[in-house]
Amino acid sequence: MERYKENQLKVYNSLSKKKEDFKTITDGYVGMYVCGPTVYSNAHLGNVRTFMFFDVVYRYLLYLGYKVRYVRNITDAGHLENDADEGEDRISKKARLEKIEPMEVVQKYTVDFHDVLKNYNFLPPSIEPTATGHIVEQIEMIKEIIEKGFAYEVNGSVYFDVLAYNEDSHYGILSGRKVEDLIHNTRTLDGQSDKKNPQDFALWKKADERHIMRWPSPWSDGFPGWHLECSVMSTKYLGEQFDIHGGGMDLKFPHHECEIAQSQTCSGVKPVNYWMHTNMLLLNSQKMAKSTGNFILPNEILSGENDILPKPFSASVVRFFNLQANYRSILDFSGEALEASEKGHSKLMEAVRFTDKIEASATSTFDVQKWEKDCYAAMNDDFNTPVLIAHLFEAVKAINQIKEQNATLTAADLTTLKTTLNAFVFDVLGLMNEANQDNSEKINGVVALLIKLRKEARENKDWALSDQIRDELIALGIQLKDGREGTTFSIQ
Ligand SMILES: [Zn+2]
């Protein structure tokens, strides 16, 4: 029997703000859509947190035996610089600044995005559609919205009429906003805009002369509004109604609100049963921003080429660290926290490896059945990965007691323990137990030791030895950096 039949999953639904029993539209099948990246710059660590959580959702649903169609789009057109439908298209702007083709920008950062996801052991989604690959469908959806009376054309651009929609539906249902308050809080239009009301949002924008990314349409040569692509691609691949829609919480408004309005206008039904949103990521307790220097790229964590962290960390440690926090809590990323996770991660992996060496006994001193149930219960409770990890450490404790010959397991219990532990650690959480990973932890330890010896040499004014340590490490591709907080290193 499929595992999902005996595991009642509960999902926190951002729409009802409650944990609800998860019931799929079609028995045994899950349709899941997650808003993907806008590929105009390197993959952002905050986005990686979001996609990593949905990777675990995907993995657990598969583990429960569901057939999952997981759609995560690539935004390669239409995402303007701000939410008020003003400013340049982010990709066009980058192309203009770098003097390259917009599709070169798209290609460069799509490759970077996939590289990061591969390094961090993400499963690829079932479909990864692009906005530019669905211009025809987007034009069709705009026509339908105009026909139904919820959009209007002005000077070649088409806008969604929020007030008209709000007469019979609730615009703001997901983010808990009321249109009246939105009107009150929005600045009045300065006469430059074609919109009837500031809350209206673009479905199609007429391209000005310098805008390179443009397509013909019944209204003008232009490009689709950003919110439209997700309505179009989710409907096309998952149907008018599907099970899960996910994204970062910053997308709730206006992006997801606009998606609901567009989709519901066309289909007449609510498009999504469960909305799930991940919370923010901070770096050293502060908002991450390139402008302040409080910024790190996902791949820089692995290489150590950054001024934020004391040393490189493995992808599995970073995954482990991320999943030690609940997805609905703020995650504070720091070197200290990562170092603590690294210790926990290696304890866990050592215990997993040791299970192969355990010999069965006549009796069990650890209640494996209860432990197994607890692991499932944690994940069934809205994918509560920190609680799951706490249960995994109960098993680590038992394994270590067996190692010290203070505990025993029967053959059947040993098999259950090994299978369940492996399934949750590797298949569900997606952690990695590669030999080279262990080696990298050892290398980190050796370099830390050399840094300590070099410090002692310098304190003794033994410059020859201190230089020798630095130079020979450079020859091995390991760069030391002396800073106020001490010496850190990176590996090329
Ligand atoms: Zn989206």
| Verdict on whether the full-model pTM lies above 0.95 | no
We report the CATH number of the domain holding residue 225 as 3.40.50.620
| Whether residue 274 is found in the same domain as residue 313 | no
| Whether residue 303 is found in the same domain as residue 366 | yes
6 Cα–ligand 1 center, Å: 33
* Vertex 169 angle, CA 163 and 174, to 5°: 100
| Whether residue 270 is found in the same domain as residue 298 | no
| Whether residue 247 is found in the same domain as residue 160 | yes
Domain boundary pick from 404, 428, 452 = 428
**CB of 322 within 8 A of CB of 347?**
no
36 Cα–ligand 1 center, Å: 7
Domain that holds residue 16: 3-278
Query: In whole angstroms, how far apart are CA 223 and each of 37, 132, 150, 215, 234?
Result: 18, 9, 19, 6, 19
pLDDT of 436: 53
Maximum Cα interatomic distance, the chain, rounded to a whole number of Å: 83
280 Cα–ligand 1 center, Å: 17
Query: In whole angstroms, how far apart are CA 424 and each of 13, 127, 317, 373?
Result: 24, 25, 16, 12
418 Cα–ligand 1 center, Å: 39
pLDDT of 365: 97
| Whether residue 269 is found in the same domain as residue 292 | no
How many Cα atoms within 13 Å fall on the side-chain side of residue 44? Answer: 19
315 Cα–ligand 1 center, Å: 27
pLDDT of 320: 98
246 Cα–ligand 1 center, Å: 9
| Whether residue 474 is found in the same domain as residue 361 | no
Domain boundary pick from 412, 428, 444 = 428
pLDDT of 49: 97
| Whether residue 332 is found in the same domain as residue 216 | no
230 Cα–ligand 1 center, Å: 5
pLDDT of 186: 66
134 Cα–ligand 1 center, Å: 14
| Whether residue 93 is found in the same domain as residue 191 | yes
Residue ranges in the chain whose pLDDT is less than 50 = none
23 Cα–ligand 1 center, Å: 23
35 Cα–ligand 1 center, Å: 4
| Whether residue 75 is found in the same domain as residue 147 | yes
Total domains in the chain come to 3
We report the CATH number of the domain holding residue 327 as 1.10.730
Residues 6+ apart with CB under 8 A from 316: 121, 345, 431, 432, 433, 434, 437
| Whether residue 410 is found in the same domain as residue 331 | yes
Over residues 137-180, the pLDDT tens digits come to 999 999 999 999 999 999 999 999 999 999 999 999 999 988 88
pLDDT of 11: 98
pLDDT of 377: 98
pLDDT of 253: 93
What one-character-per-residue DSSP string does 10-58 give? EEEETTTTEEEE---SBTTEEEEEE---BTTSSPPHHHHHHHHHHHHHH
pLDDT of 485: 73
pLDDT of 447: 87
**CB of 46 within 8 A of CB of 288?**
yes
Domain boundary pick from 428, 448, 481 = 428
| Whether residue 259 is found in the same domain as residue 383 | no
276 Cα–ligand 1 center, Å: 13
pLDDT of 479: 86
What SS3 class is residue 215? Answer: strand
| Whether residue 409 is found in the same domain as residue 445 | no
